[in-house]
Amino acid sequence: MNPINRLPLQGIKVLDLTRVLAGPFGSMILADYGADVIKVEKPGQGDDTRTWGPPYVEDQSAYFLSINRNKQSIAVDMSRKQGQTIIRELARKSDIVMENYLPGQLKKFGLEYKDLQLINDRLIYCSITGYGSQGPYSRRPGYDLIIQALGGMMSITGSSEPVKVGVAVVDIATGLSSVGAITAALYQREKTGKGTKIECSLLETQLSLLSHIAANYLNAGWEAQRHGTAHASIVPYQAFICQDGERIIVGAANDQFFHELCAVVNLPELTTDDLFKTNKLRVTNRKSLISILSKKFLEKPLAEWIELFQKANQIPYGPINDMKGVFENEQVAFLKQVLEMKNPNRTKPVRIVGPSVNFENIEKSTMLRRAAPLLGEHTRSILQTELGYTNENIDKLIQDKIIQ
């Protein structure tokens, strides 16, 4: 392959001990970028998300299939000494180990960072926890819903009642953070020749996601409020109900956009009204302005408003789509991000949303090398090719229920 067409992490080996979402999402991105990812699972059970359905594609949940593409699965009982030996042998040959066990849980298996560093000092070891490796909450299991609540996300989401974000945004953001840290550590290793330990936690990620909301509180003592689709510091920047009951989102993030909005809805007099001339004034007089605009949007159905906004210059707008609307959208179709993957051990192909990035000279479809694996699908081939085990060795491990 021409080096310019190579995936950026081609040749990097990842041993993935993570389960559920944050870790698997992060390791999937590394795999999308070309890394060889070996997913370690518990024999007979596998990753919890394999059973998180419906819906299912044959015997696998769509949830599992969405976050485990481009990986190989090896089923090893890490509670047994022979299983621990296999993990250590794989770690010796790996560039990266990812795990999301409770702090200290891998100590009894001899699989903590300090254990594996002794056999591979170039190893980058990424540990993902709920609350951090130390502190009063460190031993608590971390789940996105709980972190959204404790970390303030739910208090600023929704209208009258606090609600969670529709996807596990903290898990996904933690996975993204782990990818950034891991790639930075790979670059650092090029200079030092040594690996390192990385710690990510759902709580620390959640705190970082508070962004300006946290800054508002820490510097001005502002306690955040729930605004539904609206924005605390920009007006108008929210959804409006149309004549047919559908909703349109408009975002007048500056004075120019506000002037364009007023032109589209045929309310030019608002631009010269002393109550609405600047964003600061519009925020102060939010209730009055939103009342005027809400009445106006009720005069036409969504389709007519969309047509009028399309003719405008650059004001941000859009409908609130359901999943059908999302995947029928012309821009979504143009991006060709919905891809189909086949597994030779399955009869049905899997349709997924592919990688969210584009590398020059690399077709997005080429980033997808294999569909999410069956439980233990690659156990035999990994032990043979990576560790040199014979069929006799492997058959004995299967008989002893060390592997599946």
Residues 6+ apart with CB under 8 A from 176: 25, 26, 29
What topology is assigned to 237-319 in CATH? formyl-coa transferase, domain 3 (3.30.1540)
Amino acid identity at 265: V
In whole angstroms, what is the distance from residue 387 CA to residue 381 CA? 10
pLDDT at residue 1 is higher than 60: no
Top CATH class, 3-211+365-400:
alpha beta
DSSP structural state of residue 270: G
The CATH 3.40.50.10540 portion of the chain extends over 3-211+365-400
Task: Indicate the pLDDT class of residue 4, thresholds 50, 70 and 90.
Answer: low
- Output the pLDDT for position 70: 96
The secondary structure of 6-44 as a DSSP string is S-TTTT-EEEE---SSHHHHHHHHHHHTT-EEEEEE-TT
pLDDT at residue number 30? 98
- Least confident range from 10-24, 57-71, 89-103, 123-137: namely 57-71
Exposure letters 269-280 (e unless 16+ CB within 10 A, then b): ebeebeebeebe
Q: What is the mean pLDDT of the chain?
A: 95
Residues of the chain with CATH 3.30.1540.10: 237-319
Distance between CA atoms of residues 400 and 327, nearest Å: 48
The stretch 256-284 carries a mean pLDDT of 96
Phi, psi of 178 (to 5 degrees): -65, -40
Range 44-71 average pLDDT: 94
- What are the tens digits of pLDDT across the range 147-156? 999 999 999 9
Coil, helix or strand at residue 154: helix
Both structure tokens of 357:
């990035």
Using one digit for the tens of pLDDT, what is the confidence trace for 290-333? 999 999 999 999 999 999 999 987 899 999 999 999 999 999 99
Q: Is 171 a catalytic residue?
A: yes
Q: Radius of gyration over alpha carbons of the chain, in Å? A: 25
The neighbour count for residue 328, using CB atoms within 10 Å, is: 11
Query: Which is the catalytic residue, given 32, 36, 95, 171?
Result: 171
pTM of the model: 0.93
Per residue in 107-147, pLDDT (tens digit) is 999 999 999 999 999 999 999 999 999 999 999 999 999 99
Q: Tell me what percent of the residues of the chain surpass a pLDDT of 90.
A: 92
For residues 165-182, give the mean pLDDT: 97
292, burial (CB in 10 Å: exposed 0-12, middle 13-18, buried 19+) = middle
Confidence band (pLDDT; 50, 70, 90) for 86?
very high
Q: Is the pLDDT of residue 349 over 60?
A: yes
Q: What per-residue confidence (pLDDT) applies to 345?
A: 75
Contacts for 247 with CB less than 8 Å, ≥ 6 apart: 239, 240, 241, 302, 319, 320
341 confidence band (pLDDT: 50, 70, 90): confident
pLDDT given for residue 2 in this prediction: 58
Residue 3, pLDDT > 70, answer no
Predicted confidence band of residue 343 (pLDDT cuts 50, 70, 90) = confident
